[in-house]
Chains A and B, each alone.
Chain A
Amino acid sequence: MAEKKQTKNESFSSLDDNWETDVNILSNELAELDSEDNKTDDWTRLLGVSIKPNPLDDWDQLYNLNNQCALRNDCRKLANELKNKRSVPELESFLTLYCKKRGMDYIKDIGWLMILEKILLLNLPSAHEFNVFFAFTTKYIPKDTSPDAQIFDVFRLLLQYHDPQISNHLEALHCSPAMYTKNWFSTLFACSLSTETCHELWRVYIEQGDPFLVFHLAIVFLINAKEEILQVKRGEKAQACQILENMASQLSVEDVNDFFQLALHYSSQTPECIRKDFHYIIFGANFDEEVKEMQMNKMLCLPIPAVDLTANDEISSGNVNFFIVDCRSNADFDSGHFVSSFNLNCVSIVDEPEKFEIALNSLECYKTSRRAEDHYLILGYGSDEGDNYMNMLIGMFIQKGKPHVSFVQGGYKKLHDCIGQHNRWELIAMHSEEKCELCSHEKVAPKWGFFTKMKSAVSNTSNRMKERVEAVVFPIGDEKKGNEADHADSKQRHNKRYRQQSVFTIDENSDEELTPGGAAVDENPKEEILLSKEFTETFECQEVFRDGSINGHIALTRTHIYVLHDVPGKKGYVTTEARHALSTVIAVTSRRSVPEMLTFKLGYEMNGSSKITAVHKLYVPKAGECAKAVKLAIYALRPLPEATTS
Chain B
Amino acid sequence: MHPVRKRSSIYQDVDFSYTVMILGDSCTGKTCLLIRYKDGAFLNNNFISTVGIDYRNKLINMGDKKVKLQIWDTAGQERFRSVATSYYRDADALLLVYDIANRQSFDNVRDWLSHIKEHGKEAVQVTLVGNKCDLPRVVQADEGRRLAEENGIPFMETSAKTGQNVDRAFLGLAERMIKMKYGFVPGGEMADTIAVNESKSINLSNCCPIT
Contact = CB atoms under 8 A, between A and B. Distances in A.
Given A297-B79, A298-B79, A352-B11, A385 B86 contact: yes
Interface stretch (A168-176, A186-194, A220-228, A636-644): A168-176
B53 interface: yes
Contacts of B27: 172, 174, 234
Chain B binding surface SS class: loop
A33 to B, nearest CB: 53
A525 B47 CA distance: 57
A384 B84 CA distance: 11
Contact of A388 (B7, B70, B87): B87
A257 interface: no
A399 B54 contact: yes
Contact of A171 (B8, B49, B83): B49
B195 interface: no
Nearest to A300: B52
Interface in A367-416: 381, 383-386, 388-389, 391-392, 394-396, 398-399
B55 interface: yes
Interface in A290-332: 297-298, 300, 329
Interface string A171-203: 111100000000000000000000000000000
Interface residues of A, number: 32
A399 B48 contact: yes
A172 B47 contact: yes
Nearest to A171: B49
B86 A388 contact: yes
Interface stretch (A343-351, A419-427, A536-544): A343-351
A423 B55 CA distance: 40
A353 interface: yes
Contact of A351 (B1, B8, B50, B79): B8
B82 interface: yes
Interface in B39-65: 47-55, 57
Contact of A349 (B48, B49, B55, B75): B55
Contact of B55 (A300, A329, A350, A383): A350
Nearest to A349: B55
A344 to B, nearest CB: 15
B2 interface: yes
A381 B1 CA distance: 10
Interface in B1-15: 1-5, 7-8, 11
Contacts of A351: 5, 7-8, 11
Interface string B71-82: 000010101101
Contacts of B83: 298, 300, 391
Given A351-B7, A385-B86, A300 B1 contact: no
Task: Identify which of A233, A329, A383, A395 gathers the most chain B CB atoms within 10 Å of its CB.
Answer: A395
B47 A392 contact: no
Contacts of A169: 47-48
B43 to A, nearest CB: 12
Nearest to A391: B52
B54 A347 contact: no
Contact of A168 (B3, B7, B51): B51
A351 B1 CA distance: 17
B51 A300 contact: yes
A394 B52 CA distance: 8
Contacts of A384: 86
A298 B51 CA distance: 12
Task: Identify which of A234, A351, A352 gathers the most chain B CB atoms within 10 Å of its CB.
Answer: A351
A392 B53 contact: yes
Task: Identify which of A171, A297, A398 gathers the most chain B CB atoms within 10 Å of its CB.
Answer: A171
Interface in B132-152: none
Contacts of B11: 351-352
A440 to B, nearest CB: 14
Contact of A395 (B26, B52, B86): B52
Given A172-B48, A172-B49, A300-B52, A347 B5 contact: yes
Interface string B16-55: 0000000000110000000000000000000111111111
A234 B3 contact: no
Task: Identify which of B2, B27, B86 gathers the most chain A CB atoms within 10 Å of its CB.
Answer: B2
Interface in B84-111: 86-87
A392 B54 contact: yes
Nearest to B52: A395
Nearest to A156: B79
Contacts of A171: 49, 77
A395 B51 CA distance: 5
Contacts of B7: 351
Nearest to B87: A388
Given A383-B1, A385-B1, A388-B4, A398 B49 contact: no
A297 to B, nearest CB: 5
Nearest to A394: B52
Nearest to B79: A297
B48 to A, nearest CB: 5
Task: Identify which of A300, A388, A389 gathers the most chain B CB atoms within 10 Å of its CB.
Answer: A388
B75 to A, nearest CB: 8
A438 to B, nearest CB: 12
Contacts of A381: 1-2
B50 to A, nearest CB: 7
Contact of B48 (A168, A300, A352, A396): A168
Interface string A507-541: 00000000000000000000000000000000000
A298 B49 contact: no
Contacts of A347: 2, 5
A392 B27 CA distance: 20
Nearest to B10: A351
Given A381-B2, A388-B4, A388-B86, A395 B50 contact: yes
B72 to A, nearest CB: 9
Contacts of B80: 298, 300
Given A298-B82, A351-B5, A385-B3, A398 B55 contact: no
B47 A395 contact: no
A134 B159 CA distance: 58
Contacts of A168: 48-49, 51
Contacts of B1: 381, 383, 385-386
Contacts of B87: 388
A199 B57 CA distance: 57
Contacts of A349: 55
Contacts of B5: 347, 350-351
B50 A385 contact: no
Task: Identify which of A174, A234, A329, A350 gathers the most chain B CB atoms within 10 Å of its CB.
Answer: A350
A131 to B, nearest CB: 40
A498 to B, nearest CB: 30
- Top 8 A-B residue pairs of the complex, sorted by shortest distance between their CB atoms: A395-B52, A172-B49, A395-B51, A386-B2, A398-B51, A172-B47, A297-B79, A298-B82
29 contacts: A168-B51, A172-B48, A172-B49, A174-B27, A233-B47, A297-B79, A298-B82, A300-B52, A349-B55, A350-B55, A350-B57, A350-B70, A351-B7, A351-B8, A352-B11, A353-B57, A381-B1, A381-B2, A385-B1, A385-B2, A388-B87, A391-B52, A391-B83, A394-B52, A395-B50, A395-B51, A395-B52, A395-B54, A396-B54
Given A298-B79, A351-B11, A399-B48, 20 more contacts: A168-B48, A171-B49, A172-B48, A172-B49, A298-B80, A298-B82, A300-B83, A329-B2, A350-B70, A351-B5, A351-B7, A351-B8, A384-B86, A388-B86, A391-B52, A391-B83, A394-B51, A395-B50, A395-B75, A398-B52
